[in-house]
Amino acid sequence: MNWFHEAAYLFGGAFLANAVPHFVSGTMGRPFQSPFAKPPGEGLSSSTVNVLWGFANFVAAYLLIARVGNFDPHAPDHVIAVGVGVLLMGLIAARSFGRFHGGNSPTGS
């Protein structure tokens, strides 16, 4: 497989993982951090902004996963690349947003 395709699938997985909390928070009517808040990534954005940001991330994930190369959900290397992207973005989000929402502290307590 072309390394470019694997990189696209990895980043597609990251966009997919990033889409979920924004879209879900927005559809629940809850504000959530976004790059458009003040300060970026720390302040809260409206539920409408989060629905739009989550949807934009879903579109980016689709373009990177379904439109680059020939993604095959039965090919382990394709699925692993997306899965690693989802996992990495999930861990980054957990560490970044956990401090705002009572998640894990850096010491693990």
Residue 74, pLDDT score = 97
In a domain, 109, yes or no: no
C-alpha distances (whole Å) from 13 to each of 9, 40, 62, 66 are 6, 22, 9, 11
In a domain, 106, yes or no: no
How do the pLDDT tens digits run along the chain, 109 residues long?
Answer: 588 999 999 999 999 999 999 999 999 999 999 999 999 888 999 999 999 999 999 999 999 999 999 999 999 999 999 999 999 999 999 988 877 767 665 555 4
SS3 content of the chain, % helix, strand, coil (to 5): 65, 5, 30
Distance CA 47, CA 36 (A): 12
Range of the domain at 80: 3-101
HSE on the CB side for 41, CA within 13 Å? 8
In a domain, 65, yes or no: yes
Phi, psi angles (nearest 5°) of residue 44: -95, 140
How many domains is the chain partitioned into structurally?
1
